[in-house]
Amino acid sequence: MSTESKRQQRFAGVIQQDLGELFQREAKSWAPGAFITVTRVRVTPDLAIARVYLSFLNTKTAKQDLTNIRSHVGEIRYKLGARIKNQARIVPQLEFFLDDTNEYVEHMDKLFDKISKEPRQPE
């Protein structure tokens, strides 16, 4: 995996911040009751595609909410374009992915708890 240039990182940061604010204000219609966090944004070297990783809190239907957000990608891209029009020549295509880091951490915590509760074997 290649490293991202400073330009890619800066542009990804702008997209992450603006999408975060957009989801905070307007996500109720796309994912009712869910708290959506933009955890990471990766941008291609030509800045044409942004891969956005979302974390859903306070919901049991994260995959369904993600599908609903993907169905509104045109609307989200339009609203993002209105926010970044002075900072970018083009608005990148948006690809949304589920960030399951929280689930992985919870799973690992359960495994560690299980290991710590097992009796120790004599050496």
Give the pLDDT confidence of 87-105 residue by residue, as tens digits.
888 899 999 998 877 677 7
Give the number of domains in the chain.
1
Q: End-to-end CA distance of the chain, in Å?
A: 42
Q: Determine if the pTM surpasses 0.95.
A: no
Q: Note whether residue 24 is domain-resident.
A: yes
Expressed as residue numbers, the domain containing 31 is 6-117
**pLDDT for the residue 123:** 64
34 pLDDT more than 90? no
User: What are the angstrom distances between the C-alpha of 18 and each of 7, 13, 77, 81, 104?
Assistant: 17, 9, 11, 10, 27
Q: Note whether residue 123 is domain-resident.
A: no
Q: Note whether residue 122 is domain-resident.
A: no
Q: Which whole number is the average pLDDT over 63-86?
A: 90
Angle at 50 between CA 61 and CA 24, to 5 degrees: 50
Q: What is the CATH number of the domain that holds 60?
A: 3.30.300.20
**pLDDT for the residue 74:** 93
**pLDDT for the residue 94:** 95
**pLDDT for the residue 105:** 74
Gap between the Cα atoms of 102 and 105, Å rounded: 5
**pLDDT for the residue 122:** 64
Reported confidence tier of residue 2, pLDDT bands at 50, 70, 90: low
